Amino acid sequence: MRTQVGIVGAGPAGLMLSHLLHLRGIDTVVLECRSRDHVERRVRAGVLEQGSVDLLVRTGVGERLLREGLRHEGIELRFDGESHRVPMTELTGRAITVYGQQEVVKDLIAARLATGGRILFEVDDVRPGGLDTDAPVIRFRHGGRAAELHCDFVAGCDGFHGVSRAAVPAGVLSTYERTYPFAWLGVLAAAPPAVDELIYAYHERGFALYSLRSPQVSRLYLQVAPDEDIADWPDERIWSELRTRLETVPGWSLNEGPILAKGITPMRSFVVEPMRWQRLFLAGDAVHIVPPTGAKGMNLALSDVALLGDAFAAWYAGGRTDLLDAYSRTALERVWRAQHFSWWMTSLLHRLNTDDPYEAKLQSAQLRYVTTSRAYATSLAENYVGPPG
């Protein structure tokens, strides 16, 4: 099998890259180890920056997003029994849109398949090779048979646990990382959200987040210990803990309903540099991870491949290498801004060390500052909504 750009991974990064290259007349094949059903159902991120929405709309895959996505112009910070609104749109002119990652994935898969795009699901044993030659080849198994995909370039969009990053020889990449002493327990519930905007709550028992997916479905998160077993969290315990951490404002209560899905996600910050080795280009979670508190992961994945789409287009149009050469440097500027913001939001809102009252006082002082200073609130807001598209 032959293509121009071989893409490993059908998450937001890989699918969007395939879509962008198709619009430029560049052929791709996407290799995905899971089934279509699995990637379309995987519940993950939910917040799109204005720039991500603009990209999806501009490239013709934003129709359902514009219809079903929920535009939010502020977020709420809840602490010390008070609620404070950060009016993001007033402060920045931009807004966020709540639209599930799996909906973005569904829309992109539908768009690719409608125009004859090749996505191979349920492939095994993917091995990118020849990356330091002009003729890379990705070997894999599909339907029980060995196969080869010959290409000009390989895009590694296979997430944190993928194989692409590991195809780079030892000693080439530098890794920067941090793990946090807590995780998030996330639930999807069939309950109308009791909120119009997301609530980020700081509580002495730990962080809680009230988000949503639609007027009928709520998405909620709790800070828990990193080694927490989901079996120890029956639904009633989850609701009780959510009530304790969120119902801290007089007269306000959350809406409960059947829990449709639940899971625990570890929190980490991680960056690998550079994002390219020879003919391998890495994008999205394959090269950087942020803790979800800043809602940046899916947005970074999309902004990486927007750069990569332009860079491949310049190469195929006339052999220009400058954008491909600049890819890692350009992408990493935004990656590090998001790394800092995500680390900052995480440190601000989580219970870090229960034995250290000094730390808690600092968090309280910062929360008070960010909710009373227009300058500080503007900094939060412009990072949260993301750079202008």
Interface residues with ligand PHB (CB under 6 A)? 45-47, 198, 211, 219, 292-293, 295
Residue with tokens 């390989």: 154
Nearer to ligand PHB, 28 or 218 (CB): 218
If contact means CB under 5 to 8 A according to the sort of partner, which of ligand RFL, ligand PHB, none does residue 162 touch?
Answer: ligand RFL
Nearer to ligand RFL, 33 or 191 (CB): 33
| Spatial CB neighbours of 231, under 8 Å, sequence gap ≥ 6 | none
Nearer to ligand RFL, 372 or 384 (CB): 384
Confirm or reject binding of residue 193 to ligand RFL (CB under 6 A).
no
If contact means CB under 5 to 8 A according to the sort of partner, which of ligand RFL, ligand PHB, none does residue 195 touch?
Answer: none
Tell me which stretch binds ligand RFL (CB under 6 A): 69-77, 81-89, 159-167, 338-346.
159-167
Strand 208-214 with 288-289, pairing = unpaired
Rounded to the nearest 10 degrees, what angle do helices 322-349 and 357-370 cross at?
110
Going from the C-alpha of 371 to that of each of 26, 75, 86, 376, the distances in angstroms are: 48, 11, 7, 8
Q: Which residues pair with 29 in a beta bridge?
A: 6, 118
Nearer to ligand RFL, 31 or 111 (CB): 31
Tell the smallest beta-carbon distance from residue 187 to ligand RFL (Å).
10
If contact means CB under 5 to 8 A according to the sort of partner, which of ligand RFL, ligand PHB, none does residue 139 touch?
Answer: none
Q: How far apart (Å, rounded) are the C-alpha atoms in residues 120 and 352? A: 43
Q: Which residues pair with 282 in a beta bridge?
A: 156
If contact means CB under 5 to 8 A according to the sort of partner, which of ligand RFL, ligand PHB, none does residue 366 touch?
Answer: none
Of the candidates 292, 316, 327, 350, the residue annotated as catalytic is 292
Tokens of 91: 């402060």
Tell me which stretch binds ligand RFL (CB under 6 A): 152-160, 189-197, 234-242, 317-325.
152-160
Going from the C-alpha of 306 to that of each of 274, 311, 330, the distances in angstroms are: 17, 9, 11
* Among 156, 158, 160, 180, CA closest to 289: 160
| Spatial CB neighbours of 34, under 8 Å, sequence gap ≥ 6 | 10, 121, 122
Tokens of 86: 């950060």
If contact means CB under 5 to 8 A according to the sort of partner, which of ligand PHB, ligand RFL, none does residue 219 touch?
Answer: ligand PHB
Tokens of 282: 């890495």
Confirm or reject binding of residue 292 to ligand RFL (CB under 6 A).
yes
Tell the smallest beta-carbon distance from residue 13 to ligand PHB (Å).
18
Tell me which stretch binds ligand RFL (CB under 6 A): 4-12, 148-156, 252-260, 325-333.
4-12
If contact means CB under 5 to 8 A according to the sort of partner, which of ligand PHB, ligand RFL, none does residue 220 touch?
Answer: none
Q: Which residues pair with 276 in a beta bridge?
A: 281
Tokens of 39: 């990637």
Q: Is 265 helix (H, G, I), strand (E, B) or coil?
A: strand
Contact positions toward ligand RFL, by CB under 6 A?
8-14, 31-34, 39, 44-47, 101, 123, 126, 157-159, 161-163, 184, 186, 265, 284-285, 292, 295-299, 301
The residues assigned a catalytic role are 72, 200, 292, 296, 384
